[in-house]
Amino acid sequence: MNIQQPAAKVNWATGNLEGKKVSKTVRKLKHLEGVFADEEAYSSMDPETVVYEVEVLEQEQPGKEGGLLFGTSYLYPGKVGDEYFMTKGHFHEKRDRAEYYWGIRGSGLLLLMDEQGVTTAEQVFPGSLHYVPGHIAHRLVNTGSEVLAVGACWPSDAGHDYGSIADRGFTARVKESGGKAATETG
């Protein structure tokens, strides 16, 4: 029998993925127009500021039915005005596709919003495990002072629907208030 190398290696302390099929996406402030509430603070910041990076093991072609994708997101600490750095957030294009998230490093919140606009939040910390059911939009927020690294595994045909979030946004925001993270709805 021919024993082969695995598809990739994961550094479980940092989340870093290494492998031939690992892709990397960098999201800078300039890619996040309209995401943060304080537009004045947003336009006064360096658009080249990196807000988050995503490594994805594309063992299956994204879009292909039946496979799984696996990734790590690294969300840097920072704020736009008093609002913490966060991911764009999305529903899956195929709405019923679910996903697992798990905390690796740092601390933050996972915002979960249903199609009626009801948003809940879960604490993210090293070892936290989060089930994101289908039909639920999800967004990570870094409320800490170090990088928030979060692992994820999701169906390869899930896709991302960013448009619905760009149109309506999430119904909750996470801001610093009196030195602490506070959620604001409405």
| Number of C-beta neighbours around residue 14 at 10 A | 13
Contact between 148 and 106 under an 8 Å Cβ cutoff? The reply is yes
Binder among 22, 29, 55, 71 for ligand F6R (CB under 6 A): 71
Question: Which residue's CB is nearer to ligand F6R, number 131 or number 177?
Answer: 131
Site track 135-164 with ligand F6R (rule: CB under 6 A), x = hit: ---x-x-----------x-x---x-x----
Distance CA(125)–CA(115), nearest Å, equals: 26
Question: Which residue's CB is nearer to ligand F6R, number 15 or number 71?
Answer: 71
Q: What number of chain residues touch ligand F6R (CB under 6 A)?
A: 14
DSSP letter for 31, please: G
Which positions touch Zn ion (CB under 5 A)? 99
**99 near ligand F6R, judged by CB under 6 A:** yes
Sites of contact with ligand F6R (CB under 6 A): 54, 71, 73, 87-90, 99, 138, 140, 152, 154, 158, 160
